[in-house]
Amino acid sequence: MNKTTIGEACHRFSSGDSIKASEINKKSLYPVYGGNGIRGYCNKTNFDGECAIIGRQGAQCGNVRYFKGKAFMTEHAIVAVANEKNISGYLALKLKTMNLGRYQGQSAQPGLSVKTLSSIEMVVHSKAEQEKIFNVINTIDNKIENNNRIKDELESMSKTLYNYWFLQFEFPNEEGKPYKSSGGKMVWNEELKREIPEGWELKHAYEIADIKTGKEDANHSTENGKYPFFTCSNDILRCDDYKFEGNVILIAGNGDFNVKHYNGKFNAYQRTYVIKPYDEKYIGLFHICCNQTVEQFKKGSNGSIVKFITLSDIQNVKMLDCKNDNLLTTFNKSLEQIDCLKKENEELLSLRDFLLPMLMNGQVTFKS
């Protein structure tokens, strides 16, 4: 292993360029990297290749990510391109382990200095070892990324099926043909002011599920608790006891309004709503309906000072009970597949976090 500085290990170690906010959107081809990651997309580039990107300013100051391709790097991102003795992907991994955020200045707008970072000493492996380490970790990262793509596709397919089957009523009939357009019997529903399939019922969520709110405040969490503690953020904390058990859907009543599926023992924050269907066959349908409800709520709450969902909002959600186990089973299978991918990613992330420091400090090595 060799001692060097960050700057000496790089062919390039410098910030990007400024870009107008009007040039950034969600539809253009090239990612725009700022201090906290991707800001959006634009139609021009100022980088093409492999590098480590260090967030120089922002809430996540000091964050590091590996990038390969074409992009626009802003002045709030530092681009580190390895020289001929090193590998950029390895440098990204090395820099991630160095807690670069601690080097930020103490001015009114704290940030990282290119000059300060470039002089920081570090110990690196030989180029051959760097390549092996990067390949191992990058394989795990690629698997996680691929799982996320599959998960996103499954979620998109579930939304499409929900729209096609439960809104347009074109679910497969006994002959496998679209129900409504193939002459399936429809009956008028006065409350919805539209026809629905014969035998279907419009129900409130509380008629199909037990809906409760969490009991604890944020201080209930512990560092290494035995049970998950669900809050209104995307982070899942831990706690020492549980108040809920079973196959449930959870909705954050404020914050990101995220919707989660969980099966087991857990605890929940005061404004997290716990939905447990009386019959588990409805779990997949509840999951897609809750996601739809949250999206509608977000649209309807624009402009309010405090946005939150009440227990009554959830209890009074109206949904169609299709009385068709085959349709419900399809949604359950999709949810199970999504859960499997999430669990696999959690295990892969745990493996990655375990291996990376051990590879970097030489506790784990490669056979000749």
150-169 residue pLDDT tens: 999 999 999 999 999 999 99
CATH number of the domain enclosing 269: 3.90.220.20
pLDDT grade, residue 303 (50/70/90)?
A: very low
Q: Are residues 118 and 222 in the same domain?
A: no
Q: What is the 3-state secondary structure (H, E, C) of the chain?
A: CEEEECCCCEEEEEECECCCHHHCECCCCEEEEECCEEEEEECCCCEEEEEEEEECCCCCCCCEEEEEEEEEEECCEEEEEECCCCCHHHHHHHHHCCCHHHHCCCCCCCCCCHHHHHCCEEEECCHHHHHHHHHHHHHHHHHHHHHHHHHHHHHHHHHHHHHHHHHCCCCECCCCCECCCCCCCEEEECCCCEEEECCCEEEEHHHHEEEEECCECHHHCECCCCEEEECCCCCEEEECCCCEEEEEEEEECCCCCCEEEEEEEEEEECCEEEEEECCHHHHHHHHHHHHHHHHHHHHHCCCCCCCCCCHHHHHCCEEEECCCHHHHHHHHHHHHHHHHHHHHHHHHHHHHHHHHHHHHCCCCCCCC
* pLDDT for res 18: 95
* pLDDT for res 92: 97
Q: Considering the domain boundaries, does residue 97 fall inside one?
A: yes
- Domain boundary (74, 103, 124) is at 124
Q: Considering the domain boundaries, does residue 109 fall inside one?
A: yes
Percent of the chain with pLDDT over 90: 74
- Domain boundary (321, 337, 360) is at 321
Q: Considering the domain boundaries, does residue 167 fall inside one?
A: no
* pLDDT for res 253: 87
Q: Are residues 315 and 212 in the same domain?
A: yes
Q: Are residues 111 and 215 in the same domain?
A: no
* C-alpha to C-alpha distance for 11 and 86, rounded to whole angstroms: 9
* pLDDT for res 156: 92
More confident call, 296 vs 125? 125
Q: Considering the domain boundaries, does residue 327 fall inside one?
A: no
**Average of pLDDT values for 338-360?**
94
Residues 6+ apart with CB under 8 A from 343: none
186 DSSP β-pair partners = 197
* C-alpha to C-alpha distance for 100 and 74, rounded to whole angstroms: 19
Q: Considering the domain boundaries, does residue 141 fall inside one?
A: no
Number of domains in the chain: 2
More confident call, 324 vs 149? 149
**Average of pLDDT values for 45-53?**
97
Q: Considering the domain boundaries, does residue 36 fall inside one?
A: yes
More confident call, 306 vs 298? 298
**Average of pLDDT values for 58-74?**
92
* pLDDT for res 104: 85
Range of the domain at 265: 201-321
Q: Are residues 304 and 206 in the same domain?
A: yes
At 81, the amino acid letter reads V
74-129 residue pLDDT tens: 999 999 999 999 999 999 999 999 999 999 876 556 689 999 999 999 999 999 99
Q: Considering the domain boundaries, does residue 116 fall inside one?
A: yes
- Confirm whether pTM is higher than 0.85: no
Phi, psi of 304 (to 5 degrees): -75, 155
pLDDT of 304 > 80? The answer is: no
255-293 residue pLDDT tens: 778 899 999 999 999 889 999 999 999 999 999 988 888
pLDDT of 59 > 90? The answer is: no
